Copies of this chain bind each other. A is one copy, B any other.
Amino acid sequence: MTDRLLVIHGPNLNLLGIREPDIYGRTTLAELDRQITGHGAGRGFDVRCRQSNHEGVIIDELHQANGGSDAVIINPGGFTHSSIAIRDAIAAITPPVIEVHLSNISAREEFRRTSITAPVCAGMISGFGWAGYLLAIDAARRLLDGAA
């Protein structure tokens, strides 16, 4: 039996592979989602991927995950550092949420080093490029199995 995993990509991640490849790499979002879906299947997950530049859409998605998903992986992009509303949505739902960042946010501009959303997530993984999503899937597997 598989678990349901929701993966949310925040604003500007639709430009992945195009925008600032020195920081974010050359993989496009479509390729990344294929990798995520495949890796997730291997870990017993039925994965659904979703990208939006709209804060409200991301909040709606998180609400629907309450009952609709067993775990959530989110890269909130620029909203990481400013959105109390997304933080509240994460805190309001039952499935565990794991925060992922492609780049090592500790090593970037001052205003990108603090995450408003991370304190209400289960954990955070940053700096490993797209592989961070795969590690997050493994972490989600362990959390659901009670093995961490």
What is the copy number of this chain in the assembly? 12
Known: A15-B63, A78-B87. A114 touches B115 (CB 8 A): no
In the bound complex, residues from chain B placing their C-beta under 8 Å from that of A49 are: none
Q: Is the CB of B123 within 8 A of A126?
A: yes
A107 to B12, CA, bound (A): 21
**Interface residue tally for chain A (C-beta within 8 Å):** 64
Interface residues as binary, A112-130 with B (CB distance below 8 Å gives 1, 0 otherwise): 1111101111111111111
Chain A: residues with CB nearer than 8 A to chain B? 10-12, 14-15, 18-20, 52-57, 59-60, 63, 66, 77-79, 81-89, 91-93, 104, 106-107, 111-116, 118-132, 135, 138-139, 142-143, 147-148
